[in-house]
A and B are shown apart, each in its own frame.
Chain A
Amino acid sequence: MAPASRRGIEQSETARPDEVPIWYHSKPRLIYNPMVVDSDQADRVFRALADATRRDIVRRAMRGEHSVSALAGQYPMSFAAVQKHVAVLERAHLVIKQRRGREQLVHGNIDAIRDAQHLLDEFEEVWRSRIDRFGEVLAEVNEGATT
C-alpha cells in the first residue's frame, strides 16, 4: 500500500465533515449515481467488501456493537480468521475496533458523520431524487388521463 494513501486514511480520522472518507461521503451518490466512486479509500472499501463474511460483519456492526468473540461465534471459522476479517474492515474504515477489558468491541464507523448539516444534505439528495421520479410518474398519469 502506498504511503501517500496510508497518510490519507490517518488524516480522515480527524477530518472535518467535508473530508470524511469518500465511501461515506458518496453514500447517496453510490445509491443514485453508482459511477461516482473514486480514490484509494474506495478501492479499499470495495476490496474489503468483496467477501461475504466481511459484508455480514459490516451489516452487524452498523446495527450495534459486537465483541470479536461474539462475531466469531456467528461463522464457521476460527477466531483468528474472523479477527483477520475485522482487521481488513478496520483498515478500510468501515468498522472501528476498541478494547474494553479483555474484549475487543467492533462497531460500524459512524463517527465520521457527526455533522447535522451534512446529514441533512444527504437527506436532501434522497428527496430530490424521489421528487424527480414523482414528477415523471405524475406526468405519465396526467398524460394517460388526457389521451
Chain B
Amino acid sequence: MTVTSVRKDPRALTMTITAEFDSPIGPVWQMWENPRLLEKWWGPPTYPATVVDHDLTPGGRVTYFMTGPEGDQPRGWWRVIAVEAPHRLEFEDGFADEAGNPDLEMPTMTTRVTLTEQIDGGTRMAIEATFPSVEAMERLAAMGMEEGIRLAVGQIDDLLRAAA
C-alpha cells in the first residue's frame, strides 16, 4: 500500500491522507505539473479526466472535464493559491458550468499538497483537503452521489442494450 496514513478531523472538516512513493521527488511533482499525467489519475476509470487549461502559478487556473459512461461531461476547475515546485501546491477546487465557467452556487474546497524527500530516496506526499462548512460537504457529497447515479444509469442502459 502506498497510503501510509489517513487523519480525519470532523470538527475542522479536514482530511489528511499521506502516501509514500518509491520515486525521487521530481517525477512525483510531474504528476501534478504535467497535465497529460494529471489526467491519468484525477478521474476514476469510469469518469476519465481531460485537462484543458493548466497554469500552475499563483492565481492561475486549471480547468478540466470528465467524461462519463453516458457521455456526460461534468466540469471542474482549480484556482492555484500557492505553488513552490517541487514541494508545495495549494489550490481551491470547484465545479464549473457547461461553458467551463466556475459554478459559484456550488461550494469549493481547498487542497494542499506537500511533497517531502525521504532519506531512502523516496517521496512522501501529504494531501490535506479542507471543506468550508458541513453544508458544503453535504452538497459536494450530493454531487458525488449524482455521479454515482449517472454511473448506475449508464449500467442500466448497458443492461437494456444487452437484453435487446
Genuine A/B complex: yes
Within the complex, the shortest CB–CB distance from A142 to chain B, in Å, comes to 5
Residues of B3-32 at the interface with A, using a CB-CB cut-off of 8 Å, are 3, 6, 8, 10-11, 13, 15, 17, 19, 21, 23, 27-28, 30-31
C-alpha spacing A49/B159, complex, angstroms: 13
Cβ A117 vs Cβ B8 within 8 A: yes
**Is A46 among interface residues, defined by CB-CB distance under 8 A?**
yes
C-alpha spacing A116/B69, complex, angstroms: 29
| Known contacts A116-B10, A134-B41: A31-B142 contact under CB 8 Å | no
Cβ B146 vs Cβ A59 within 8 A: yes
Residues of A89-147 at the interface with B, using a CB-CB cut-off of 8 Å, are 94, 108, 110, 113-114, 116-117, 119-124, 126-139, 141-142, 145
> What's the dominant secondary structure at chain B's contact region?
helix
C-alpha spacing A132/B45, complex, angstroms: 12
> What's the dominant secondary structure at chain A's contact region?
helix
Cβ A27 vs Cβ B40 within 8 A: no
Task: Kindly identify which residue among B41, B44, B127, B153 contacts A49, using a CB–CB cutoff of 8 Å.
Answer: B153
**Is A3 among interface residues, defined by CB-CB distance under 8 A?**
no
Within the complex, the shortest CB–CB distance from A127 to chain B, in Å, comes to 5
C-alpha spacing A113/B146, complex, angstroms: 14
**Is B62 among interface residues, defined by CB-CB distance under 8 A?**
no
**Is A45 among interface residues, defined by CB-CB distance under 8 A?**
yes
Closest to B134 in A: A116
**Is B85 among interface residues, defined by CB-CB distance under 8 A?**
no
Cβ B151 vs Cβ A127 within 8 A: no
Cβ A129 vs Cβ B138 within 8 A: no
C-alpha spacing A46/B160, complex, angstroms: 12
Cβ A62 vs Cβ B41 within 8 A: no
C-alpha spacing A31/B31, complex, angstroms: 23
Per-position binary interface string of chain B over residues 119-143, scored 1 when its CB falls under 8 Å from any chain A CB and 0 otherwise: 0000001010101001001111111
| Known contacts A27-B148, A46-B152, A120-B8: A128-B17 contact under CB 8 Å | yes
Query: What are 21 contact pairs spanning A and B, CB under 8 A?
Result: A30-B148, A31-B144, A31-B151, A32-B44, A49-B156, A50-B153, A59-B146, A62-B142, A94-B149, A110-B139, A110-B141, A116-B134, A117-B8, A127-B15, A127-B127, A131-B2, A131-B17, A131-B19, A135-B2, A138-B28, A142-B23
Binding site for A on B (CB under 8 A): 2-3, 6, 8, 10-11, 13, 15, 17, 19, 21, 23, 27-28, 30-31, 37, 40-42, 44, 46-47, 105, 125, 127, 129, 131, 134, 137-149, 151-153, 155-156, 160
